[in-house]
Amino acid sequence: MIYLDNAATTMQKPDCVVRAVTKALCSMGNAGRGAHDAALHASRTVFDTRMKLADFFNAENPKQIVFTANSTESLNIAIKGVLNPGDHVITTELEHNSVLRPLYEMEEKGIELTIIKSDRQGNIRYEDFEDSIRSNTKAIICTHGSNLTGNMIDIEKVGKITKKHSILLIVDASQTAGVFPIDVQRMHIDILCFTGHKSLLGPQGTGGMYVREGLHVRPLLCGGSGIKSYSKKHPEEMPTALEAGTLNGHGIAGLGAAIEYIREIGIENIREHESGLMWHFYDQVKEIPGVTVYGDFTGKDRCPIVSLNLMDYNSSEVSDALAIQYDIFTRPGAHCAPLMHKALGTQEQGAVRFSFSYYNTEEEIDQTILALKELASNNE
pLDDT score at 380: 64
Mean pLDDT for the chain overall: 96
Rounded mean pLDDT, 52-80:
98
pLDDT score at 235: 82
Closest CA to 338 of 130, 100, 69: 100
Q: Torsions phi, psi of 263, nearest 5?
A: -60, -40
Rounded mean pLDDT, 51-66:
98
- Rounded distance between C-alpha atoms, residue 29 and residue 93, angstroms: 43
CATH of 15-265, picked from 3.40.640.10, 1.10.132.20, 3.90.1150.10, 3.40.30.10, is 3.40.640.10
Closest CA to 4 of 344, 281, 337, 338: 281
Domain spans of the chain?
15-265, 266-378
Identify the CATH class of 266-378. Answer: alpha beta
pLDDT at 81 over 80: yes
- Rounded distance between C-alpha atoms, residue 340 and residue 148, angstroms: 8
pLDDT score at 243: 95
pLDDT in tens, 339-360: 999 999 999 999 999 999 999 9
Number of helices (H), then strands (E), belonging to the chain: the values are: 11, 12
pLDDT in tens, 87-129: 999 999 999 999 999 999 999 999 999 999 999 999 999 999 9
The pTM of this model reads 0.96
- Rounded distance between C-alpha atoms, residue 181 and residue 263, angstroms: 11
pLDDT in tens, 195-250: 999 999 999 999 999 999 999 999 999 888 887 888 888 888 999 999 989 999 99
152-to-129, 136, 146, 176 alpha-carbon distances in Å: 15, 27, 6, 9
Domains 15-265 and 266-378 are alike in CATH topology: no
